[in-house]
């Protein structure tokens, strides 16, 4: 497998954690540049200590770097608005982009669900932290039985929600809801995010509710367990908090009506998740950030494997 050379745009917490993961990783993806806009940022200082080329001039600084031509993939860990500008600036150079913002220029990618279907796309969108945690569960349920409606609640520690996360709340809910439908297979999706101010900070928690028709609950539970294990292979802190729960919905139940079900009312499938960060750069409670960087790195590693086998 040939190593990919990667640049990171965004020297904040997410970009720095991604940089550290590449340095500590398998060698399939190597850090070729760290780009920011604040010369005094901790991320740029960390990169310099690791002998990774840096620039504080944003995407223009990346383009001007020696070795830019040899960069295979660019991770964008900025914000949705900045990614639109960065993607436009990089478009003439044919660089593969992995987008960790909710800009969603390219297709939604959740590694355990649909990565191989989009390996040829020039811009891969990693949805959101809530999407990476919950879309696999919805996809697991919909693989067994149609999901008429899916609703998720992502609760993250307020201290792990930086300026970029807070600026993108609207994009988070919209992007996550669409991913529940387009990738997870739900007929309708809804996403809610909670910034939990508790001290000490709590781990990321996600609640997934799926409304289905009559279904084989044992098969659904097996599918959810298997998918959780698949995600945990690249996000070790990802786990089910308890066994999937099932509740029969009576005809006329508001949830059944919301999902458009008639007759028996259907079944409510509830799954409760927890995501603990790996502690590479961020604290353990920042599982919402860790799952994004882990998913992005897994995507790049898969690209490296495919391109290596083709060469």
Q: What is the pLDDT of residues 21-44, one digit of tens each?
A: 999 987 999 999 999 999 999 999
The yes-or-no verdict on residue 275 having pLDDT over 60 is yes
Percent of the chain with pLDDT over 70: 98
The yes-or-no verdict on residue 17 having pLDDT over 60 is yes
- Name 19's Cβ contacts closer than 8 Å, sequence gap at least 6: 8, 31, 34, 43, 46, 47, 50, 52, 281
Specify whether 129 is catalytic: yes
Q: What is the pLDDT of residues 97-127, one digit of tens each?
A: 999 998 899 999 999 999 999 999 999 999 9
The 10 Å Cβ neighbour count of residue 70 is 8
Average pLDDT, the chain: 94
The average pLDDT across 136-146 equals 98
Rounded CA separation 206/204 (Å): 7
In the chain, helix, strand, coil percent, each to 5? 45, 25, 35
Q: Among 44-48, 130-134, 212-216, 292-296, name the one with the lowest average pLDDT.
A: 212-216
pLDDT given at position 166: 86
Percent of the chain with pLDDT over 90: 86
The yes-or-no verdict on residue 144 having pLDDT over 80 is yes
pLDDT given at position 262: 64
Which of 129, 135, 215, 256 is catalytic? The answer is: 129
pLDDT given at position 310: 66
The average pLDDT across 187-211 equals 97
pTM to 2 decimals? 0.95
To the question of whether residue 287 is assigned a binding role by annotation, the answer is no
The average pLDDT across 202-223 equals 97
pLDDT given at position 260: 78
To the question of whether residue 70 is assigned a binding role by annotation, the answer is no
Dihedral of the alpha carbons of 176, 118, 227, 142, in degrees to the nearest 10? 70
pLDDT given at position 265: 73
Res. 253 pLDDT band, cuts 50 70 90: confident
To the question of whether residue 161 is assigned a binding role by annotation, the answer is yes
Going from the C-alpha of 120 to that of each of 26, 52, 195, 294, the distances in angstroms are: 23, 28, 35, 20
- Joined tokens for residue 71: 């960069």
Domains by residue range for the chain, with CATH = 4-126+290-310 (3.40.50.720), 129-284 (3.30.360.10)
Strands 188-196 and 54-55 turn out to be unpaired
To the question of whether residue 120 is assigned a binding role by annotation, the answer is no
CA proximity to 99, closest of 175, 1, 185, 162: 175
To the question of whether residue 148 is assigned a binding role by annotation, the answer is no
pLDDT given at position 158: 96
């Amino acid at each position: 497998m040939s190593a990919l050379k990667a640049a990171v745009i965004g020297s904040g917490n997410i970009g720095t954690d991604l940089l550290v993961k590449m340095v500590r990783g398998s060698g399939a993806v190597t850090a070729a540049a760290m780009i920011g806009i604040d010369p005094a940022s901790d991320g740029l200082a960390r990169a310099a200590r690791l002998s990774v080329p840096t620039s504080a001039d944003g995407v223009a600084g990346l383009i001007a770097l020696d070795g830019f031509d040899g960069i295979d993939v660019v991770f964008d860990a900025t914000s949705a608005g900045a990614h639109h500008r960065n993607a436009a600036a990089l478009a003439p150079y044919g660089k593969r982009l992995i987008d960790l913002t909710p800009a969603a220029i390219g297709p939604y990618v959740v590694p355990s669900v649909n990565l191989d279907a989009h390996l040829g796309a020039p811009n891969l969108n990693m949805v959101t932290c809530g999407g990476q945690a919950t879309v696999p569960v919805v996809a697991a349920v919909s693989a067994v039985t149609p999901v008429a409606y899916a609703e998720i609640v992502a609760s993250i520690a307020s201290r792990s929600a930086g300026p970029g996360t807070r600026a993108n709340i609207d994009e988070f809910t919209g992007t996550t809801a669409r991913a529940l439908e387009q990738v997870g297979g739900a007929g309708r999706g809804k996403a809610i995010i909670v910034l939990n101010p508790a001290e000490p900070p709590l781990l990321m928690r996600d609640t997934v509710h799926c409304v289905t028709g009559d279904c084989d609950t044992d098969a659904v539970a097996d599918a959810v367990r298997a998918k959780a294990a698949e995600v945990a292979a690249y996000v070790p802190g990802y786990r089910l908090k308890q066994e999937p729960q099932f509740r029969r919905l009576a005809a006329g139940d508001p949830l059944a009506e919301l999902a458009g079900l008639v007759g028996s009312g259907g079944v409510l499938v509830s799954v409760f998740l927890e995501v603990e960060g790996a502690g590479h750069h961020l604290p353990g409670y920042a599982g919402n950030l860790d799952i994004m960087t882990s998913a992005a790195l897994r995507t790049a590693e898969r690209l490296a494997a495919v391109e290596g086998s083709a060469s």
